[in-house]
C-alpha cells in the first residue's frame, strides 16, 4: 500500500468518523472501498480513434485472402 494524505472539510470528516464508528470499521478502509468503486466506474477513455474501424469480425487475420478476393469481386476494393 501507498500512504497518501487527503484533506477533508470539517463536516465530511465528522460524517466519515461517525460512519466508521457506526459500522465498526476504520475510516481508511471506508475511503479505500469507495475509491475502488469510483475508479472502477470511471475507466480511462480509449485512445483517440480506437474502435473507429471495427468490423465486428474476429476472423480477419485468418481469412484475409478470401475476404480480399471477395471484396475485389464485389467492387469494394480497387
Share of the chain above pLDDT 70, in %: 100
Orientation of helix 10-22 relative to helix 27-41, angle to 10°: 110
**How confident is the model over 56-72, as a mean pLDDT?**
89
Q: Is the pTM of the predicted complex or chain greater than 0.95?
A: no
How far are the Cα atoms of 15, 45, 46, 64 from residue 50, in angstroms, in the given order?
A: 42, 10, 6, 21
- Band of pLDDT at residue 57, cut at 50, 70 and 90: confident
For residue range 11-39, what is the model confidence (pLDDT) as tens digits? 999 999 999 999 999 999 999 999 999 99
Q: What's the rounded mean pLDDT across residues 65-78?
A: 91
What's the pLDDT score for residue 33?
97
**Mean pLDDT, the chain, as a whole number?**
92
Amino acid at each position: 500500500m501507498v500512504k497518501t494524505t487527503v484533506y477533508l472539510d470539517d463536516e465530511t470528516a465528522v460524517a466519515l468518523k461517525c460512519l466508521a464508528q457506526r459500522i465498526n470499521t476504520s475510516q481508511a478502509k471506508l475511503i479505500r472501498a469507495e475509491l475502488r468503486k469510483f475508479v472502477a466506474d470511471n475507466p480511462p477513455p480509449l485512445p483517440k480513434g480506437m474502435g473507429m474501424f471495427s468490423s465486428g469480425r474476429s476472423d480477419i487475420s485468418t481469412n484475409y485472402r478470401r475476404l480480399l478476393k471477395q471484396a475485389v469481386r464485389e467492387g469494394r476494393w480497387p
